[in-house]
Amino acid sequence: MATTRRRTKAQEAQSNRPSADELLGYYRDMLLIRRFEEKAGQLYGMGLIGGFCHLYIGQEAVVVGIQAALEQGDTIITSYRDHGHMLAAGMDAKGVMAELTGRRGGYSKGKGGSMHMFSREKNFYGGHGIVGAQVPLGTGLAFAHKYRGDRKVNACYLGDGAVNQGQVYESFNMAALWKLPVIYVIENNRYAMGTSQARASAGELYQRGSAYGIPGRVVDGMNVVSVREAAEEAVAHVRGGNGPMILEMKTYRYRGHSMSDPAKYRSKEEVNKMRSEMDPIDNLKRILVEQGVIDEERLKTIDREVKEIVTEAAEFATQNPEPDPSELWTDVLIEA
């Protein structure tokens, strides 16, 4: 099971340096996302997952680092590259994978698929397929936090493609105007589908809120410790009633935009260089080993545990029955 690495008050009181246990937890959570996505890719290749399937491989440090800075009750919303966000939020791998295969045991009973899942328990608000459309929703979640006075924040993820949608700026203005508790996490993986950031976006993305007075910060999104550190600062700012903040995560997706994308718009060398030099999981592992936090035996144990979770999820997702035909007509509207 994926664990949610939320910090206790005692931990918060200490310095920003993550403990060895925390680092191990991040390593495990990132590895779970990586292995989960690899398995999803395999199942897709075998024809067991249809439709869209946007893999998160390469970007794992972003969600794990952000999640580490959130507390119970904070809400999360994202777009369609969402499997990692759900696992990081603590959602059950079986339910996520079964949704990818369109089975009744999936989070959305097989009616949502890869892009559309939700968990009230984990405060995960989807899973949205229209680029940028989750940003007004996240702003509305933040509005609800403020209206209720619950001192919770919303983490609203968007990509480097979504930053060019108009409704994002309507939301920025509202959030700044009303000092809403929302962190806009721009996951800049450098490609909006097949179009590079340079070919689609003028200026710097972290500055996209500057006209509204929204502070922005660039973060090494390939380093979970950097992400956590920036996220903690942003959460403190936002929870303190100072209005929204933008974090631009410089990250990279190793796979294509979706499973049908051969990714010919970039070179193999570019991808290989990122994988070999910048990989968030390999780099953290190296640090953990060098610092003596972890030995080979412990690494193997974690690998095995993660593999078991993913294997179990895949088995569930392929053996669980498809939805009953009657489900076609349920959940459209509640009769009233």
Contacts of 257 (CB under 8 A, 6+ apart): 54, 191, 193, 194, 263
**136 lies in the site for another protein, by CB under 8 A:** yes
- In the bound state with another protein, the residue whose beta carbon lies nearer, of 133 and 193, is 133
Shortest Cβ 262–another protein spacing (Å): 28
- In the bound state with another protein, the residue whose beta carbon lies nearer, of 25 and 323, is 323
**333 lies in the site for another protein, by CB under 8 A:** yes
Cα angle at 305 between 302 and 306, to 5 degrees?
85
- In the bound state with another protein, the residue whose beta carbon lies nearer, of 119 and 189, is 119
**117 lies in the site for another protein, by CB under 8 A:** yes
Shortest Cβ 137–another protein spacing (Å): 4
How many residues appear in the chain? 336
Q: Is 17 exposed, middle or buried, given 0-12, 13-18 or 19+ CB atoms closer than 10 A?
A: exposed
Q: At what angle do helices 60-69 and 224-239 cross, to 10 degrees?
A: 40
- In the bound state with another protein, the residue whose beta carbon lies nearer, of 147 and 296, is 147
**325 lies in the site for another protein, by CB under 8 A:** no
Alpha-carbon distance of 331 to 300, in angstroms, equals 44
Binding segment toward another protein, per CB under 8 A, in 47-55, 119-127, 203-211, 279-287: 119-127
**90 lies in the site for another protein, by CB under 8 A:** no
Residue 125, H or E segment:
strand 124-127
Shortest Cβ 86–another protein spacing (Å): 12
Q: Which of 11, 38, 41, 129 binds another protein (CB under 8 A)?
A: 129
Binding mask 163-182 for another protein (x = CB under 8 A): ---xx--xx-xx--x-----
Q: Which string of b and e fits 92-116 if b means at least 16 CB within 10 Å? A: bbbbbbbbbbbbbbbbbbbbbbbbb
**53 lies in the site for another protein, by CB under 8 A:** no
Strands 195-196 and 75-78: unpaired
Shortest Cβ 116–another protein spacing (Å): 4
Cα angle at 21 between 15 and 25, to 5 degrees?
110
Q: Which of 61, 77, 96, 306 binds another protein (CB under 8 A)?
A: 77
Nearest to 244 by CA among 156, 149, 158, 125: 156
| Footprint of another protein (CB under 8 A) | 75, 77, 106-112, 116-120, 125-130, 133, 135-144, 147, 166-167, 170-171, 173-174, 177, 330-334, 336
